[in-house]
Amino acid sequence: MFYHDSELQYEVTVENPDPHFAKLLQQAIGGQEGEMRVAMQYMFQAWALPEEYETYRTLLMETAVEELGHIELLAAAVTENLRGSPKEMRDETEETAAAAAAMTGQNPRQFLSSGLSAMPVDSNGVPFSGGYIVASGNLAGDLYANVMAEGTGRTLATRLWEYTDDPGMKDMLSYLIARDTMHQNQWLAALESLDEPVPVPASFPQEEENQEVNYAFMSTMREPQDDPNLPWTQGEAPDGKGEFSYLAEQPGDGPGIPPEPDPSTYNTPERE
């Protein structure tokens, strides 16, 4: 259940409307690094958790709803950048979509399909994809994915911050960047609170793994190389359950030739 208030989560002001920047902001809405992704990701992760993980379910849902507020912030910013542009630019935009793209670099669909409004698309106009969402049902694996999602989202927001000179847009992006900082840290803290976050899933009996390679860094160089003596080739593994080692060669065995196809597939070039 959700409740909505007409007040934005954070103030959005645009001093110098820029239709091209509106197009770039679309990446932060519907792009692979955007807010739609994390909002949906955290929701579906939360909905998969049983009652014993209620604390983590609440954490995920609270953050998911906050991300919905971020979508609203960005949508308001996109619309203000589009509709607040100079009148002569708006008049030209209304004549042809091609002129809009040529003059402002904006996505023509922002005029044609949404009437100078935000859309659930990325900066190239590609619709948001549910394929961006990671929700495996394994809490530890999902939390690692969330750290990555917040990291790429924060990187995008910092690039947008560098791109714009508008004080209002910088202020809004500064807020979003700060929230990404918090979210990265909260997911890491949640991981640390788990008894055994790695390897994922930690519930699988490790004695069933191939014990010869489960902590071995494997070189794929054609000629065998010496152990480079790096943190991932020697010493205790981060999960505390094994010691890193170095394999100069891949195990290699077995033919790589597939069996003969069924004749009904007609894979052979001629009749036998």
pLDDT classification of 87: cutoffs 50, 70, 90: low
Rounded mean pLDDT, 96-103: 58
Rounded mean pLDDT, 23-51: 97
pLDDT classification of 260: cutoffs 50, 70, 90: confident
How many Cβ atoms are within 10 Å of 167's Cβ, its own excluded? Answer: 12
Identify the CATH number of the domain defined by range 19-193: 1.20.1260.10
69 neighbors 39 (Cβ within 8 angstroms)? no
Residues of the chain with CATH 1.20.1260.10: 19-193
Task: State yes or no: pLDDT of 100 exceeds 80.
Answer: no
Q: Which residue has the higher pLDDT, 91 or 258?
A: 258
What are the tokens at 33?
Answer: 């690094």
pTM of the complete model:
0.87
Rounded mean pLDDT, 102-108: 67
Burial class, 83, CB count within 10 angstroms (exposed 0-12 / middle 13-18 / buried 19+) = middle
| pLDDT, tens only, 170-211 | 999 999 999 999 999 999 999 999 998 999 999 999 999 999
pLDDT classification of 56: cutoffs 50, 70, 90: very high
Measured at the CA of 125, the angle between CA 119 and CA 127, to 5 degrees, comes to 70
* Per-residue pLDDT at 97: 57
* Per-residue pLDDT at 3: 86
Task: State yes or no: pLDDT of 235 exceeds 70.
Answer: yes
Averaged confidence pLDDT in the chain = 91
Cα dihedral sign, 151-157-162-167: negative
Beta bridge partners of 217: 246
